[in-house]
Amino acid sequence: MSAVQSTPETREGWDGTETVSPSARARKRLSSPGASTAAIIIAVLWTLPTFGLFLSSFRPEEEIKNNGWWNWFTDPQLTLENYREVLFGSRTELSTYVINSVAITVPSVVIPVSLALLAAYAFAWMKFPFRDTLFVAVFALQIVPIQIALVPLLQIFVDVGLNGTFWPLWIAHSTFALPLAVYLLHNFMRDIPVELIEAARVDGAGHVKIFGTIMLPLIMPAIAAFCVFQFLWVWNDLLVALTFAGSTSDVAPLTARIAELVGTRGTEWHLLSAGAFVAMIIPVLVFLTLQRFFVRGLLAGSVKG
């Protein structure tokens, strides 16, 4: 890399013999004590509200309502009461809603990703009439806002008799996710070097074989990334859930419950910080499980030589 660089930066190296690439220079600058201090300050400022929320979630009701979390340092009082109230305080156990959320989210991630993978492969590597027009049409669907589709979709679901089940949510979330999923995965698939595909064809592989043994492993980072985004989107969704699932404990997700923690007249708002952390656990776990797949290099070593 550095050998072929001939940018002005390289010529202005520290001394005549050593050439420094821009990335190395940047690394050097960013690891200077001043930059490190700035980074630490930014990180602290960034984390502080979350930390405050976390501390708040353990403070007694009266303390939360009367003063800010920083008062904890002068008057340390901790309690698990908020968590107890959030987890076991209502007629319906919170676990019911957690299970509902999982039941809503998992198929709402698996369905669009599976469909989008197949569609993206076809758009990227198969030739058929009106391919580009169709692709633009699919991508254009992105522009349709969810909000204008809610009531017509609800009418359809009620007519078909799916209402009150998980199906409307799975279908709605999948529908809304597909355009972006197809577009994103298509672009990743297009980036796979054509030599690989041709080599596979020469070896006698058909579309199914190419898709299964070449495409899937290579675009795993993209799949993981999309899984995470779609998971977080569906997990945190309240609007679609309220419209299609309502708030009965049969199908309502965790967000619907968290939104109601404050009570009819907002008197229980001290529970919100604890509720937020309970709702956060599973997405954080999913994120940590999947994140190592999409930080790795996309095509590391696939076409060497």
How many angstroms separate the CA atoms of 242 and 250, rounded? 13
Q: Does 242 bind another protein (CB under 8 A)?
A: yes
CA distances to 49, 50, 243, 287 from 238, in Å = 23, 22, 9, 20
Contact 156, 175 (CB under 8 A): no
Contact 77, 63 (CB under 8 A): yes
Closest among 222, 257, 229, 223 to 105, alpha carbons compared: 229
Judged by beta carbon, residue 24 or residue 110, the one nearer another protein is 110
How many angstroms separate the CA atoms of 199 and 84, rounded? 60
Judged by beta carbon, residue 20 or residue 215, the one nearer another protein is 215
How many angstroms separate the CA atoms of 156 and 158, rounded? 5
Of 13, 49, 193, 263, which lies in the binding site for another protein, with binding defined by CB under 8 A?
Answer: 263
Output the smallest distance, CB 260 to another protein, in A.
4
Q: Does 74 bind another protein (CB under 8 A)?
A: no
Q: Does 112 bind another protein (CB under 8 A)?
A: no
Contact 154, 244 (CB under 8 A): yes
DSSP class of residue 166 equals S
Of 55, 113, 172, 272, which lies in the binding site for another protein, with binding defined by CB under 8 A?
Answer: 113
CA distances to 39, 136, 217, 231, 245 from 299, in Å = 31, 27, 10, 25, 41
Q: Does 283 bind another protein (CB under 8 A)?
A: no
- Per CB under 8 A, which of residues 146..185 are in contact with another protein? 150-151, 154-155, 157-159, 163
Q: Does 145 bind another protein (CB under 8 A)?
A: no
- Per CB under 8 A, which of residues 204..223 are in contact with another protein? 213, 216-218, 220, 223
Q: Does 24 bind another protein (CB under 8 A)?
A: no
Q: Does 196 bind another protein (CB under 8 A)?
A: no
Of 3, 265, 297, 304, which lies in the binding site for another protein, with binding defined by CB under 8 A?
Answer: 265
Interface with another protein (CB under 8 A): 62, 65-66, 89-92, 96, 99, 102-103, 105-107, 109-110, 113, 150-151, 154-155, 157-159, 163, 213, 216-218, 220, 223-224, 227, 242-243, 246-250, 256, 259-260, 263-269, 282, 286, 289-290, 293
